[in-house]
Structure 1
Amino acid sequence: MNETDLHFDVAVVGLGKTGLSCVRYLSKQGLNIAVTDSRDEPPELTNLKSEFDSVPVYLGEISSEALLASDQIILSPGVSLENKSVKQVIEAGIPVFGDIELFCQQAKAPIIAISGSNGKSTVTTLVAEMTHNAGLKTCVGGNLGTPALELLDEPVPDVYVLELSSFQLETTFSLNAHASVVLNVSPDHMDRYETLNDYINAKNKIYYGQGLMVINGDDDIVKAMNEDSRRCITFTLSKPEGNNFGVIKEGDEAFLCQGNVKIINQKELAIKGEHNIANALAAMALASSLNVPFEIMVDVLKSFKGLEHRCQLVKTINNVSWYNDSKATNVGACIASIKGLCELGSIILIAGGDSKGADLSSLTLAVKQHVKNVLLMGVDADKLAKTIGSVVACEFVPDMDAAVSKANQIAAPGDLVLLAPACASLDMYKNYQERGDMFVKAVNALEAC
């Protein structure tokens, strides 16, 4: 067949977990599919060939020929709309959208949609546990766990709880969530977005439609997304106004509340840190939109100890506590982690990796106030040192084992050693999970010595 004879109903761009879920979904519709990926060996290639050996695959670069021969394009979230082949098909008038758009067109139950620079997975998990424990059939996925399209294989639930990244939202147009939230916004993925406003605009798409807007009253960027004509509820770390969610302080005690109604004492939260108080408030606001009783919320908040690689206490050795927050892949997450743990002791910070083009300067104040030593590794270690080196003692280390060994040498009883890299992991590791696992392994080896 000549290339001029090519024709596909749809081309899927990107063969990761999401891309394969798209192929599975589209094949059930009886469509003629092509797949293309810039990698020679994308992660789901073996599974694709096993399940769909007749689907043509174009590897090594995103195939303009396959895309231009297709009626529509399904773009995986890891592929930018600015890719030259993708821009070609957009200019040619070929529709381009993502898996979340396909999901929204078919979903038959209310959607709780959660985005933000930090805290998405924690809030998604909290909301899903609250709705499930309240007796609602709950399907959870999206950017966390199960790809959204695979949720459509399940019986129709009472509610879908979706974590959505800015990348997924870029190619989503039909979302009309029952309730949605942007938890916070700090500069992230600036290697993909030309400006911070481009990133903000992608996040803002989660509020499209007519559902309840849950707004972080402490984040000026998120507050600016509020629409006066829409139903809105806010959450804040201060005393709330009206029937919103917030914190009431009484002497040394602090209570998470809705309006003047106290729901849970802050000390009873199983997850620690100021940022997790905000996460708990956001989860309660979202769950309240489905009439989840407060007692159910409280039970979840008392028992949920957090997700791996997110402010995870690995163990305490010789009165030094070791925390794994490998998921802190941007400056905002690192600052939140430092502020959330600083009251527990002096911090030795392990940081570094790929900063993704971000401005690191906002890290300086938190480090100056709460960190006594920083151990730096990865491709942007020098960049971090130039940013914070004037306010804290910094030392370069070649890898995680060396970082943990050095931290163990300089830590005093009562200190915390915190892995909160403020950077992505891909310069040294397969993903943030592998980076966190290497930290945990190195910490466990200390106790064995």
Structure 2
Amino acid sequence: MMKPCLILGGGVSGRAARRLAETLGMEAEILSDPAPCPPEEAVAHRSLLVTSPGVVPLTSPLWQAAARRAERGEVEFISELEFGFRHLPRRRCIAITGTNGKTTTTELACHLLNASGVPAVTAGNIGVPLSDIAADMREGKLQPETLPVVEVSSFQLERADSFAPVAAALLNLESDHINRYAGGFEEYCEVKRGIFRHVPEENRIFGLSLPAPRRVEVRAGRLFVDGRELIDTAGTRLHAPHNQENLAAAVELALRLLPEGGVFRREFTDAILSFEPGRHRIELVAEQDGIRYVNDSKATNPASVLAALRTLPQRRCAVLLLGGLDKGMDFTPLLEEKERVRFAVLYGACRAAIAAVLDGKIPFAECGNDFEKAVEIASAHALPGDTVLLSPACASMDMFRDYKERGDRFAAAVHALLSERSGGTGPV
């Protein structure tokens, strides 16, 4: 065995880091708060400390003890993302960050590259830690020339000092995860911009909402590359404004990797046409009596709720289901589209914080932690032409394992409710 490695925090990322460490011949151990001994003692006698993104610097005694040792020059302390990147055989990847749209852009960029003959896999915050990709390559389960397309959260960018994607995209910056950073929104933005630390200036890509020169533009729903029309998004599943932003970023990334003119080849445009965004993103669950039921459980901050509301047909309203785990966010942006919200149903840990913003401006009801009751009340307030929209503006972990479980619970509650109303005659 080589030098001993301690991984802070378990979960998917922690297990991936341990697997990679063991592949490299290291003695690896996972340790989570609270440690079985004083934190300084727990992180002593290790040559390398790797932190999972879920370990919160402001509240984790283990993380703080590790940081103190690193500041004294006694140990190297890095993130799981950094650990995985360092051990990619070719140290080559592209990366996407931003408050919203990361997952769709990551999946789309990977889809477009594979269709164009560039072998690529999704990695990072999308569910497959970069350390697992590095281990797969080292074990021969994945070819070393495969390009990881890495979704990167702000958590993963912390302590990632040498992370150097070939090209990277910062999609947008909105209020999110403010409870993680003592410096509030400004510190959050600074961490996000750190994705460009080692990226050549010409390969730094900014989303359409951010001021920057760009080769890709969207005008009247049409995507242009260097002034030449590439595709009309009306014929794709990416025609909503927020998905046009995701498409533009994915095409910008492809321009940095494909041969000249590669984005105008038939296989590339066919790949845009064939792409379907993943589940839990403005996903139609059911329709009955002129009312649509839409699962947008992936909307974990106010900006993503606004994006969902702006996809509604003109002069149509939503009944919103809002709530969950608070991340110290500002909920006042929800009022920007208050004319589109007929009623809101609030549930979960931060329902009071949302209620304080909506009070007197958007009518609402509170349902405690009874999610099925929240769906029932939302449906009762909807009129023909309305959309009952689960777009929570919050994380899910107060009541659910993750946003996927929350979306599945919503779908199940909707189907049960509508089946009961139709006399139990089957799925709706």
TM-score tier by shorter-chain length is 0.7 to 0.9
Q: TM-score, normalised by structure 1?
A: 0.84
Q: Could you tell me which of 64, 85, 93 is aligned with 1:87?
A: 64
Q: 1:62 to 1:258 in 2, by over 3 A?
A: farther
Pairwise mapping of residues 263-302 of structure 1 onto structure 2 (< 5 A)? Answer: 263-291=230-258, 292-294=262-264, 295-302=266-273
Query: Which residue in 1 is equivalent to 2:53?
Result: 77
Contact 2:294 2:389 (8 Å CA) reproduced: yes
Query: Which residue in 1 is equivalent to 2:424?
Result: none
Query: Which residue in 2 is equivalent to 1:106?
Result: 87
Whole-angstrom distance in 2 between the partners of 1:109 and 1:126: 22
1:174 and 2:162 equivalent? yes
Query: Residue 377 of structure 1 aligns to which amino acid in structure 2?
Result: Y
Contact 2:236 2:272 (8 Å CA) reproduced: yes
Query: Residue 5 of structure 2 aligns to which amino acid in structure 1?
Result: V
C-alpha displacement of 1:369: 2.7
Whole-angstrom distance in 2 between the partners of 1:62 and 1:273: 52
Q: Could you tell me which of 130, 139, 144 is aligned with 1:148?
A: 130
Query: Residue 203 of structure 1 aligns to which amino acid in structure 2?
Result: K
Q: 1:273 to 1:196 in 2, by over 3 A?
A: same
1:25 and 2:20 equivalent? yes
Q: Could you tell me which of 110, 123, 148 is aligned with 1:160?
A: 148
- Say which SS state the counterpart of residue 301 (structure 1) adopts: helix
Query: Which residue in 2 is equivalent to 1:413?
Result: 384
- Say which SS state the counterpart of residue 74 (structure 1) adopts: strand
Q: Could you tell me which of 331, 344, 354 is aligned with 1:384?
A: 354
Query: Which residue in 2 is equivalent to 1:402?
Result: 373
Contact 1:77 1:98 (8 Å CA) reproduced: yes
Contact 1:255 1:263 (8 Å CA) reproduced: yes
Query: Which residue in 2 is equivalent to 1:214?
Result: 205
Aligned-pair RMSD on alpha carbons? 2.0
Query: Residue 289 of structure 1 aligns to which amino acid in structure 2?
Result: R
Whole-angstrom distance in 2 between the partners of 1:431 and 1:310: 14
Whole-angstrom distance in 2 between the partners of 1:62 and 1:350: 43
Query: Which residue in 1 is equivalent to 2:405?
Result: 434
Q: Could you tell me which of 230, 247, 257 is aligned with 2:218?
A: 247
Q: Mind listing any 5+ residue stretches in structure 1 that lack a counterpart?
A: 1-6, 40-57, 227-232, 235-243
Contact 2:106 2:150 (8 Å CA) reproduced: yes
Contact 1:179 1:213 (8 Å CA) reproduced: yes
Q: Could you tell me which of 297, 319, 325 is aligned with 1:326?
A: 297
- Say which SS state the counterpart of residue 293 (structure 1) adopts: helix
* Cα distance per residue 1:81-134 (max 9 Å; x no partner): 333332223222322101211222232163110011111000000000001111
C-alpha displacement of 1:339: 1.8
Query: Which residue in 2 is equivalent to 1:45?
Result: none
- Say which SS state the counterpart of residue 341 (structure 1) adopts: coil
C-alpha displacement of 1:8: 6.7
1:121 and 2:121 equivalent? no
Pairwise mapping of residues 350-365 of structure 1 onto structure 2 (< 5 A)? Answer: 350-365=321-336
C-alpha displacement of 1:256: 1.4
Q: TM-score, normalised by structure 2?
A: 0.88
- The alignment-based identity, stated in percent, is 29
Whole-angstrom distance in 2 between the partners of 1:344 and 1:287: 37
Contact 2:222 2:232 (8 Å CA) reproduced: yes
Query: Residue 175 of structure 2 aligns to which amino acid in structure 1?
Result: P
Whole-angstrom distance in 2 between the partners of 1:165 and 1:210: 17
C-alpha displacement of 1:287: 1.4
Pairwise mapping of residues 302-381 of structure 1 onto structure 2 (< 5 A)? Answer: 302-341=273-312, 343=314, 345-366=316-337, 368-381=338-351
1:185 and 2:173 equivalent? yes
Query: Residue 119 of structure 2 aligns to which amino acid in structure 1?
Result: K
The total of aligned residue pairs comes to 399
Q: 1:342 to 1:386 in 2, by over 3 A?
A: farther
* Cα distance per residue 1:349-378 (max 9 Å; x no partner): 110112211121122122x23111111111
Whole-angstrom distance in 1 between the partners of 2:122 and 2:289: 40
Q: 1:300 to 1:343 in 2, by over 3 A?
A: farther
Q: Which moved more, 1:318-327 or 1:7-16?
A: 7-16
Q: 1:8 to 1:109 in 2, by over 3 A?
A: closer
Contact 2:49 2:76 (8 Å CA) reproduced: yes
Query: Which residue in 2 is equivalent to 1:64?
Result: 40
